[in-house]
Amino acid sequence: MTRPLGIAVLGTGRMGADHVRRIDRVVSGARVAAVADPDGERVKEVAAGIDGCAAFTDPGAALAAPGVEAVLIASPGPAHEEALLAAFARGLPVLCEKPLTPDAAGALRVMEAEQRVGRRLAQVGFMRRYDAEYEQLKALLDAGGLGRPLFLHCRHRNAASPSFFTTEMLINDSVVHEVDAARWLLGQEVTAVTVLSPASSSRAPAGLRDPQLVLLETAGGVVVDVEIFVNCGFGYQVVCEAVGESGSARIGDGQSMLVQSGGRWGGEIVQDYTVRFADAYDRQVRRWVEATRRGEVTGPSAWDGYAAAAVSEAGVSAQRTGSRTPVELAPRPAFYA
């Protein structure tokens, strides 16, 4: 392919609008051919100023627009399954923001539909796999640089949660990133989840059980602990420390410029995931575009999206019961080997 790849972006909220900007201004070899969002005014505003970009309130119309050769789904999770199936019906490659679907049953239906097409079309947007520090840690673990892995210690903190955030979303909207990162870093499936809830922070809105400690057990005997704290008040932090039999390594400390002045020293704590993982998002979309132009699909698959959904469901169950909850995974199809 020599011409730019025409992409339809479904969803023009914060994430979708950022992807439109990214495709239009950052990533070479691609263009925004169409955008879709139920909010007619917003979708027109996002499309304004982009040559050849059509704006729709109907996702199906965007997929059928002239010049559309691939799809980036950034709409809310409940809309993903319908959009994915529509893209598959047209044979369009898809980069779908997490979650693939909000539930494991929906993810299984997506996998079945993709297998009926006979080739991979979907990539799930687990952007941490494209972060430079995560890539370094993955390479170190794969090379055996820490010996056999024993623990992953993870911290996931947000300054404040949105007004619509629920206790279940601590798992299926936030910890889901650690779920995928752990599966990818270790090359192991998660087999059980336990959730511990301390007294809620005074910063947490009424009814939100925040923070929580999530324990993941893997098929290889690794224990992953995740502190999820979405109303910490001071910024956005994602930290991961791998501990092996012969060493440890930690990423996410954010060692930027340190200032010493007035008898104090310190640096900046980023306030937002779009800042912390800006390079990862750029790299993810760039690699997806490059692979799509070659006629390939790489990166996290629909199976990865399904596995994350299944672990999240077990995690939400563990939240409610206070009990260790096994993860029930369907057999992995050879299609996703």
pLDDT at residue number 20: 98
pTM: 0.94
Q: Which residue has the higher pLDDT, 110 or 267?
A: 110
Q: What is the pLDDT of residues 25-61, one digit of tens each?
A: 999 999 999 999 999 999 999 999 899 999 999 999 9
- Residue 111 pLDDT greater than 70, yes or no: yes
User: Architecture of domain 129-273+308-336 in CATH?
Assistant: 2-Layer Sandwich (3.30)
Judge if 5-127+279-300 and 129-273+308-336 fold alike in CATH terms.
Answer: no
Contact 317, 325 (CB under 8 A): yes
pLDDT at residue number 191: 98
pLDDT at residue number 255: 63
Q: Which residue has the higher pLDDT, 271 or 96?
A: 96
pLDDT at residue number 268: 77
Q: Which amino acid is at 45?
A: E
pLDDT at residue number 274: 82
Report residue 12 as tokens.
């023009």
The domains of the chain are located at 5-127+279-300, 129-273+308-336
- Residue 1 pLDDT greater than 70, yes or no: no
pLDDT at residue number 257: 66
Contact 122, 299 (CB under 8 A): no
Q: In which band, very low, low, confident or very high, does the pLDDT at 256 lie, cut at 50, 70 and 90? A: low
pLDDT at residue number 329: 97
SS3 per-residue string spanning 50-101 = CCCCEEECCHHHHHCCCCCCEEEECCCHHHHHHHHHHHHHCCCCEEEECCCC
Supply the mean pLDDT for the chain: 95
Neighbours of 144 (CB within 10 A): 12
- Residue 114 pLDDT greater than 90, yes or no: yes
Cβ neighbours for 166, distance < 8 A, ≥ 6 positions apart: 208
Mean pLDDT confidence for 308-337? 97
pLDDT at residue number 202: 96
As a residue count, the chain comes to: 337
Q: What is the pLDDT of residues 158-199, one digit of tens each?
A: 999 999 999 999 999 999 999 999 999 999 999 999 999 999
Which superfamily does 5-127+279-300 belong to?
A: NAD(P)-binding Rossmann-like Domain (3.40.50.720)
Q: In which band, very low, low, confident or very high, does the pLDDT at 296 lie, cut at 50, 70 and 90? A: very high
Beta-bridged to residue 193, according to DSSP, are 216, 325
pLDDT at residue number 119: 97
Report residue 239 as tokens.
């930290």
Q: What is the pLDDT of residues 51-66, one digit of tens each?
A: 999 999 999 999 999 9
Mean pLDDT confidence for 222-237? 96
What phi and psi, each to the nearest 5 degrees, are found at residue 215? -110, 125
pLDDT at residue number 100: 97
Q: Which amino acid is at 263?
A: G
Mean pLDDT confidence for 234-247? 95
- Residue 127 pLDDT greater than 70, yes or no: yes
For the chain, percent of residues with pLDDT exceeding 70: 99
- Residue 219 pLDDT greater than 80, yes or no: yes
